[in-house]
Amino acid sequence: MKFSSMRYLAGEGVKNAWVNRLMTIASVGVLVACMVIIGLAILISENVNKAVGNLEQQNVVMAYMKDYNWALYGGGSDADTSSGTDSSASDASQDTASDSEEAEAGTSAESSEGSESTESTTDDTDKADENGIKPSDYVIHNDDEAKALCDEIAKIDNVAAVEYITSEEGLESVKESMIEGQESYFTFLDDEYGNPMSGAAKITMTDMSKFDETIDKIMELDGVDTIQSQSDLADKIAAIKRGVGIAGFWIIAILMVISLVIVSNTIRVTMYNRKLEISIMKAVGATDSFVRIPFVVEGMLIGLVSALIAEGLLYFCYRVATETIIATLGTTDIVYYSDVAWWLLLVFIGIGIFAGVLGSVIMISKYLRREGSEFAAI
Amino acid sequence: MEEMRLQGGGTAAAAPIIEFRGVSKTYPTGTHALEDVNIRITGGEFVFIVGSSGAGKSTFMKLIMREEKANTGIIRVNGFNLTTMPRKEVPMLRRTMGIVFQDFRLIPTMNVFQNVAFAMHVVGASDRDVRREVSRALSKVGLGNKARSMPAQLSGGEQQRVGLARALVNSPDLIIADEPTGNVDPNMSYEIVSLLTEINKRGTTVLMVTHDHNLVRDFQHRVIMLERGKIVADNAGGSFQ
């Protein structure tokens, strides 16, 4: 189509919108209402996601390691069976001392009996220390190995962040969380038998709905003993996110259909108002697309104007609402309009153009195919 | 396209510009509008189509414009085979003809110039061509000084002349006029048919439906009479009574 024709048709579309201004204003009004509700649904969803995201950040998982302290408190004696969630490093066996003595005695005996055997050569590097713990009794021997394990964990899908917590930091943290007086028990353990806390990987996940499968993958890694987490909270967070997502989808879908119907109806009225013009157009050799374009332009214009008004209106309403929330609740942990302004505008324009173009194309195509007479102008 | 536009839409004197061969049209309601109609109108002819209400005149015009399709028979107009022509080619056919309606069909919100220019915009003419050709067409029908007037400010005869200018502006090979004098006074009727005759003398084929026997008698052109969907008379020289 020639540029002059396009310009003419675009002008006709704008003129149509003006000539039918009452219908145009009514359509813009309803479309703006739909867009504002869609925008509110998006903003509410974003705020819920942000709040849930904060909860997710707080809902960290601790993966305790099979390190020296773990072996010291009896971890090595049942290393293959102690793994599991919701257990704690603090449940270390009280029999550690006697176990250690036995282990030490055994090691000493073996060492003195076969000093020339191959086994005794190997055992030279696997000597028990004063607590009876041999290097082969545990998996994580130093900070480097602990950090390497953290790196392995970080590679697992859905793991957002991993932080290495040394056993000393872990002990301090536990003591701090105790009420006054109770922390003395841990001080006693530390002084008498050594630090009861194993080193740990502090893990944050991206998506709490994949919590269980992520935990399974972490547990498969060599060197991980137990996982401490709040799986109930993870389930609730996942459920909230899912609920908000589904509700948002349906609100947007329903309002999109309403928008489409509204624009279609306006175009339908315009079309019947202009049936004389359409009949003359067809009689003098206008193609279907030539007849259609002014209506499409009109639909697009209604959509675009509605998008701009909705953006402005939503900005004003949301600003008032957030200022009130900040003033009354004192929280600033909300989604600011400036963070979403551009993409909300794009969403509105997208909805407007989609509804405008599709609504007009459906209506005018139906009219051109099934109705209207060029000869009788009906 | 080559197959459809058999004779290239030319206006050579002997070439048939409209040809109906064994054409019948029955509407879904069961009404037999046309039955076994055979007509051959050559380029440059002026033909009156006459007949009482329900005779099939409107169906005849609709078939020529390809607003309706014949049930049987072959129709060729301006070199297009309307029997096999796909719907998307219909605009091309209509661009080869100008149509004048009994009720003028002027767009009330457009002035005279815009009403005529409208037909040129449809075919994608440039603004410069639109200005030149619209002025020329309005001068031909004697309305060069009314370009800015709105339709409501014109008499019936003037409005029909605007309709005629709109039909002429794309220089069609064929003009179809559906009772163009039906809504104007007798003097203006003579003026309009005189204008059509003048246009015809320049080589454009004119097909005019009318009820006015006086016009048919006075202008002495070929007359085709339809009754109950059949051609009952086809007389050259306006000998219809």
> Tens of pLDDT along A246-271?
888 888 888 888 877 877 787 787 77
**Nearest alpha carbon to residue A31 among A314, A348, A357:** A348
- Between residues A189 and B43, which one has the greater pLDDT? B43
Residue A377 near chain B (CB below 8 Å): yes
For residue B172, the distance in angstroms to the closest alpha carbon of chain A comes to 10
d(CA A202, CA A164): 6
Q: What is the pLDDT of residue B183?
A: 80
Give the mutation candidate from B122, B130, B133 for the A interface (greatest A CB count, under 10 A): B122
| Inter-chain touch B95–A285, beta carbons under 8 Å | yes
Q: What is the pTM of this model?
A: 0.60
d(CA B42, CA B222): 11
d(CA B84, CA B1): 11
Mean pLDDT of chain A: 76
Please report the residues numbered 265 through 284 in chain A whose beta carbons come closer than 8 angstroms to any beta carbon of chain B. 276-277, 279-284
Q: Return the structure tokens found at A363.
A: 């209506």
Using the predicted structure, report yes or no on whether residue A7 has a pLDDT greater than 90: no
Residue A292 near chain B (CB below 8 Å): no
Using the predicted structure, report yes or no on whether residue A85 has a pLDDT greater than 50: no
**Among B65, B119, B121, beta carbon nearest to A5:** B121
Query: pLDDT-based confidence at A107, cuts 50/70/90?
Result: very low
Q: What is the pLDDT of residue A189?
A: 76
B228 contacts B26 by C-beta, under 8 angstroms? no
Highest mean pLDDT (candidates A8-17, A106-115, B129-138): B129-138
Question: How many contacts, defined by CB atoms under 8 Å, are there between A and B?
Answer: 65
- DSSP-derived 3-state class of residue A274: coil
Contacts of A290 in chain B (CB under 8 A): 91, 122
**Among B91, B101, B178, beta carbon nearest to A287:** B91
Q: What is the pLDDT of residue A371?
A: 52
Q: Return the structure tokens found at A42.
A: 């998006």
For residue A17, the distance in angstroms to the closest alpha carbon of chain B comes to 14
Q: What is the pLDDT of residue A314?
A: 92
Q: Return the structure tokens found at A348.
A: 């509105």
Using the predicted structure, report yes or no on whether residue B11 has a pLDDT greater than 70: no
**Among B62, B122, B127, beta carbon nearest to A281:** B122
- The radius of gyration of chain A from alpha carbons, rounded to an integer in Å, stands at 35
Query: pLDDT-based confidence at B135, cuts 50/70/90?
Result: very high
d(CA B98, CA B89): 17
Q: Find residue B235's DSSP bridge partners.
A: B223
